[in-house]
């Protein structure tokens, strides 16, 4: 199985300041079609997860442009340019190329 790791596991941020989460996979997520199937999800308290980023860097419909994804192969990063109140929650990366699908352990983001 592909192991997904995230750092840090917890992040306290100041509103308006940037934040960054790293995700690493134990195998390459690059498909033979040239696409890389790494996605990011946010789970706000008491809510189901929702999709933020797919294929490493593509923002899903309605996702604010303060969210950005980057990376390749096995190393990926989610960046929030200026954290807002609605960004508090747990962020998960997920690989969508190999079965079984696997999630990272989650990074909890809250305010200082």
Partner 1 sequence: EVHLLESGGGLVQPGGSLRLACVASGFTFVDYAMDWVRQPPGKGLEWVSTISYRGEDYAGSVQGRFTISRDNSKNTVYLQMNSLRADDTAVYYCAKGLTLLDSWGQGILVTVSS
Which residues make up the interface to partner 1 (CB under 8 A)? 1, 35, 37, 39, 41, 43, 48-51, 54-55, 60, 90, 92, 94, 96-97, 99-106
Q: Report the alpha-carbon distance of residue 35 to residue 31 in Å, rounded.
A: 5
Complex with partner 1: residue 20 or 102, whichever CB lies closer: 102
Least separation, in Å, of the C-beta of 89 and partner 1? 13
Query: Half-sphere exposure (CA, 13 Å, Cβ side) for 44?
Result: 9
Least separation, in Å, of the C-beta of 15 and partner 1? 26
Q: Report the alpha-carbon distance of residue 29 to residue 12 in Å, rounded.
A: 29
Complex with partner 1: residue 50 or 82, whichever CB lies closer: 50
Complex with partner 1: residue 16 or 100, whichever CB lies closer: 100
Complex with partner 1: residue 63 or 77, whichever CB lies closer: 63
Least separation, in Å, of the C-beta of 44 and partner 1? 12
The one-character DSSP state at 37 is: -
In contact, 76 and 56? CB cutoff 8 Å: yes
Least separation, in Å, of the C-beta of 48 and partner 1? 4
Residue 85: what are its φ and ψ, rounded to 5°?
-55, -40
In contact, 105 and 96? CB cutoff 8 Å: no
């Amino acid at each position: 199985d592909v192991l997904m790791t995230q750092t840090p596991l917890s992040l306290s941020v100041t509103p308006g300041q940037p934040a960054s989460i790293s995700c690493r996979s134990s195998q390459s997520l690059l498909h033979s079609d040239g696409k890389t199937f790494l996605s990011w999800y946010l789970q706000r308290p008491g809510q189901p997860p929702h999709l933020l980023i797919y294929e490493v860097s593509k923002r899903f419909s309605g996702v604010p442009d303060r969210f950005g994804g980057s990376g390749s192969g096995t190393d990926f990063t989610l960046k929030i340019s200026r954290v807002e109140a609605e960004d508090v929650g747990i962020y998960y990366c997920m690989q969508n190329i190999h079965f079984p699908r696997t999630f990272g352990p989650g990074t909890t983001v809250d305010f200082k």
